């Protein structure tokens, strides 16, 4: 059982990325980009819901916190078109209809065959959360967005965590009969839970909750389950998943900085009225600043995993804590932190992580000489390059963090051009998904349920 639990982590969705190149795997079931302005494609299913009009159609052009910036070397319309293009490519590559249940969809995270153990995996909750966020935000551009969102929702409901049916089992595979079944255990991963719950809040504002799915009610159920299962009941830090019990001396104290979705935690408080979410937010800011000030004061980088020590402080986890020798470094999990943490400042104006973001922005510009192509795909917390390969999953989030200050204008422009110009076909599911989500933020289209 412990061996299975060790596998239950977000980065397990992409471990093969580190060693494999983009594949040419067949994606016959993926949704063609040309279907974007067509009727829903659920076939003969009797469970198809009638799509509602998008109340917040893309683009939205949100006003972020005063003093923040966007790229200024393209017009707003040009940036919107660039986001649409990347969405169309992402959709045609990764959004897949269930082979046997025509009103379910999933995000095909193993399209490029990056995961080979087991080789038949197709979906993970991380990617599912990304897909639900993306389809909620791109409604209006995509006339079938609600059809896809509801299909993703049904797939999530069909694969519940064994610990709590409101959460999602972390990975699915296709068996020899073509059925999609849970793989490597049926517990949850925290980031997938957080994104799915937040996407349901977005869906409530995008389409309303009077249709087939009561998005708001389902969101609240999931948010309550997250607080019960994915949050430490005493310390209020986000845990690694619902499999990590508070009493587990090794994994109970663990947390993953790439799960630090601070503006989403605030939205959960607003949706439920539960003040415990304030405690989760406060603890999360505390962890960011504690680790940054003591372990990465010159870089602002956060490690893939953090643990709470016996004295109550938080520190980088030891290497091989859960996944890799890089668990104590800035690697394939924590590369998302500039996007996750900076988005909170853009949306809420909360300055509690601003010092860390500024330090990180200054360091990465200096370390690369202001050249995005020199951003590596792995660093230790002192800033030493551990892997020099260029990856969009590392570049795109820095564009979000660059938005916090006008002094980063030229750097932001270069980053935007880099992530726009890099072909979708050159990257993997993980890179392409993070790029698209980051572009939605940077283009000024990341609205919130409270707006």
Q: What is the mean pLDDT of residues 89-104?
A: 98
Q: What is the mean pLDDT of residues 63-86?
A: 99
CATH architecture of 2-20+49-442: Alpha/alpha barrel (1.50)
Cα 71 to Cα 49: distance, rounded to the nearest angstrom: 38
Which has more pLDDT, 175 or 52? 175
Cα 450 to Cα 272: distance, rounded to the nearest angstrom: 13
What percent of the chain has pLDDT above 90?
86
Which has more pLDDT, 139 or 23? 139
The pLDDT value given to residue 48: 46
Q: Please count the other Cβ atoms lying within 10 Å of the Cβ belonging to residue 386.
A: 14
Q: What is the mean pLDDT of residues 388-407?
A: 98
The pLDDT value given to residue 11: 53
The pLDDT value given to residue 3: 33
Catalytic residue among 164, 191, 204, 242: 191
Q: Is 191 labeled as catalytic in the residue annotation?
A: yes
Q: Give the pLDDT band of residue 185 (cuts 50, 70, 90).
A: confident
Helices 125-137 and 76-94: angle between axes, nearest 10 degrees: 140
Q: What is the mean pLDDT of the chain?
A: 91
Cα 451 to Cα 447: distance, rounded to the nearest angstrom: 7
Looking at the predicted structure, is the pLDDT value of residue 37 above 80?
Answer: no
Token pair, residue 108, equals 């095909």
The pLDDT value given to residue 116: 83
């Amino acid at each position: 059982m412990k061996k299975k639990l060790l596998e239950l982590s977000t980065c397990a969705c992409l471990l093969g990325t580190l060693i494999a190149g983009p594949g040419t795997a067949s994606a016959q079931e993926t949704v063609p980009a040309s279907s974007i302005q067509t009727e829903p494609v659920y076939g003969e299913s009797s469970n198809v819901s009638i799509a509602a009009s998008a109340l917040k159609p893309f683009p939205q052009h949100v006003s972020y916190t005063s003093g923040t910036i966007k790229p200024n070397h393209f017009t707003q319309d040009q940036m919107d078109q660039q986001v649409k293009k990347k969405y169309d490519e992402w959709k045609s590559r990764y959004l897949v209809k269930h082979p046997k249940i025509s009103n379910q969809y999933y995000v095909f995270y193993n399209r490029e065959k990056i995961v080979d153990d087991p080789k038949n995996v197709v979906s993970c909750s991380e990617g599912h959360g990304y897909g639900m966020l993306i389809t909620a935000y791109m409604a209006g551009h995509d006339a079938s967005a609600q059809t896809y969102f509801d299909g993703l929702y049904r797939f999530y409901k069909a694969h519940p965590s064994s610990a709590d049916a409101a959460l999602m089992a972390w990975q699915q595979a296709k068996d020899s009969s073509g059925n999609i079944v849970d793989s490597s255990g049926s517990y949850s991963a925290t980031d997938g839970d957080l994104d799915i719950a937040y996407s349901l809040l977005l869906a409530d504002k995008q389409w309303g909750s009077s249709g087939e799915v009561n998005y708001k009610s389902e969101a609240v159920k999931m948010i309550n389950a997250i607080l019960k299962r994915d949050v430490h009941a005493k310390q209020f830090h986000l845990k690694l998943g619902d499999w990590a019990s508070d009493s587990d001396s090794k994994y109970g104290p663990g947390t993953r900085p790439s799960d630090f979705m601070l503006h989403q935690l605030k939205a959960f408080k607003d949706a439920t009225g539960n003040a415990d979410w304030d405690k989760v937010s406060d603890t999360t800011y505390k962890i960011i600043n504690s680790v940054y000030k003591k372990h990465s004061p010159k870089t602002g980088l956060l490690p893939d995993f953090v643990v709470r020590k016996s004295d109550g402080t938080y520190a980088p986890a030891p290497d091989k804590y859960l996944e890799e020798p890089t668990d104590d470094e800035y690697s394939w999990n924590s590369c998302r932190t500039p996007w996750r943490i900076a988005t909170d400042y853009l949306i809420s104006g909360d300055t509690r992580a601003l010092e860390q973001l500024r330090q990180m922005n200054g360091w990465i510009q200096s370390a690369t000489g202001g050249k995005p192509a020199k951003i590596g795909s792995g660093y230790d917390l002192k800033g030493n390059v551990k892997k020099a390969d260029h990856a969009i999953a590392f570049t795109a989030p820095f564009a979000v963090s660059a938005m916090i200050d006008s002094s980063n204008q030229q750097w932001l422009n270069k980053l935007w051009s880099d992530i726009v110009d890099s072909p979708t076909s050159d990257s993997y599911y993980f890179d392409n998904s993070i790029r698209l989500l980051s572009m939605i933020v940077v283009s000024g289209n990341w609205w919130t349920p409270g707006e």
